[in-house]
Amino acid sequence: MQKHKYAYYAFSLLLLILSGAVGFYNNPPTQEPQTTEENYEYTGQIPYAYYFQLYAPNINWPWQMLAALCYEESHYNPHARSASGALGLMQLMPKTAKRFGLNDSTIYSPQDNIRAGVEYIAFLQKKYSFITDSAENINFVLASYNAGPAHIMDARRLAKKHGRSAYVWFGNTEYWLAQLQYEQYANDSVVRFGQFNPAQTINYVHKVHRTYRKILLSEP
């Protein structure tokens, strides 16, 4: 049984490497990595759809995109708490939660947490107001929701310097975010916030989009 377990882990790691989830950062994909229905976790259950529909118009997002972000953050667990201390459905850090009106008695309230998360998204949207394409604006907001805007702005500066678009995410600014793991780029004169591990953020944007598509397909 133990040998089978190790063989399973080894096979899983090989699949990750071959699919690009590990070590693809020298040449990040220009399109989203493939997945299959069998190996993807989303179940089609959206327990707080009413609140997503209520607040999504405040940021001009499809409510399904907001629901997809929430799923990737907490799997719709209103009492979720991450290792870094992020709380609730939208996984807001305590300082961010307080900034947008949450306290100890409301942080785990589904409606209040979603509302505050949407207000934080609106804050990020303003930072990228110069990205007028709505789909691209969403991509940059998603990346910043996961990583904070500082490293995303560094990646934009590198993209501009090296001839890729600082207004397009996939294959452009995404590519230069990936390069921030390397000292030669993290020490570039246009980079203000130093080295960054890009894996989680790059995968996060792809995962939210995949969940969004699955939510659309699951609707009657």
Q: Tell me the catalytic residues.
A: 73
- What lies within 8 Å, CB to CB, of 64 at 6+ separation is 52, 212, 215, 216, 219
Long-range contacts of 2-9 (CB under 8 A, 24+ apart): none
Contact 164, 172 (CB under 8 A): yes
DSSP letter at 81 equals B
- Give residue 121's identity as a one-letter amino acid code: I
Distance of alpha carbon 47 from alpha carbon 67, whole angstroms = 10
Buried b / exposed e over 198-216, threshold 16 CB at 10 Å, is beebbbbbbbbbbbbebbe
Distance of alpha carbon 159 from alpha carbon 28, whole angstroms = 14
- What kind and span of H or E run contains 166? none
Q: Is 165 left (phi over 0), alpha (psi -120 to 50) or beta?
A: beta
- What lies within 8 Å, CB to CB, of 74 at 6+ separation is 80, 88, 89, 90, 91
